[in-house]
């Protein structure tokens, strides 16, 4: 199992993950993290829960490749990505991206780069439960502007 990528049903602790990521690495001067949570609304509808699915092996491989790309683009040390799957409710944590580096700028950029990738290209399938019933939605929110700032075209991650 990768120490860089975890796809899991269980919740995670930001504190524990960041401590593990920077443990004993005296070079680290910056840690940037992003935690995404489940909202109670999407596209104007109430959302009582969402269910995320993935294809084991394929999802991890895709995220690992993007972490490798982040290492090529930015002067960073360590990366940790956790993405939850299964049934999640509003306020639940859904995703963590944490990046260490010597200086904050590289960590911020790499963290944003990885989140833009996760939101637009990572292979997840999402079903939302609304008052009108369940609906499948595209978990890969296409944001061409987010991809363009990194020199990536939609569908070419």
Domains recognised in the chain with CATH numbers: 5-147 (3.90.1170.40)
Residue 74 backbone zone (phi > 0: left; psi -120 to 50: alpha; other: beta): beta
Q: Which residue has the higher pLDDT, 42 or 88?
A: 88
Residue 2: per-residue pLDDT: 62
How many separate helices (H) and strands (E) can be counted in the chain?
Answer: 4, 10
Q: pLDDT for 70-122, tens place per residue?
A: 999 999 999 999 999 999 999 999 999 999 999 999 999 999 999 998 988 88
Beta pairing class for 5-8 and 76-84: parallel
Do the beta carbons of residue 4 and residue 67 sit within 8 Å?
yes
Q: What is the pTM (predicted TM-score) of this model?
A: 0.88
Question: Which H or E element spans position 86?
Answer: strand 86-88
């Amino acid at each position: 199992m990768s120490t860089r990528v975890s796809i899991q049903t269980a919740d995670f602790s930001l504190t524990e993950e960041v401590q593990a990521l920077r443990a004993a690495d005296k070079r680290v001067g910056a840690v940037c993290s992003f935690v995404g949570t489940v909202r109670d609304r999407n596209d104007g509808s109430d959302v009582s829960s969402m269910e995320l699915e993935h294809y084991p092996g394929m999802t991890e491989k895709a995220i690992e490749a993007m972490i490798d790309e982040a290492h090529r683009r930015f002067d960073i040390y360590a990366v940790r990505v956790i993405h939850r799957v299964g049934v999640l409710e509003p306020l639940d944590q859904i995703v963590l991206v944490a990046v260490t580096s010597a200086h904050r700028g590289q960590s911020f950029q790499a963290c944003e780069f990885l989140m833009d990738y996760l939101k637009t290209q990572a292979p997840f399938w999402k079903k939302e439960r609304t008052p009108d019933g369940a609906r499948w939605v595209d978990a890969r929110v296409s944001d061409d502007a987010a991809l363009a700032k990194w020199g990536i075209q939609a569908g070419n991650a």
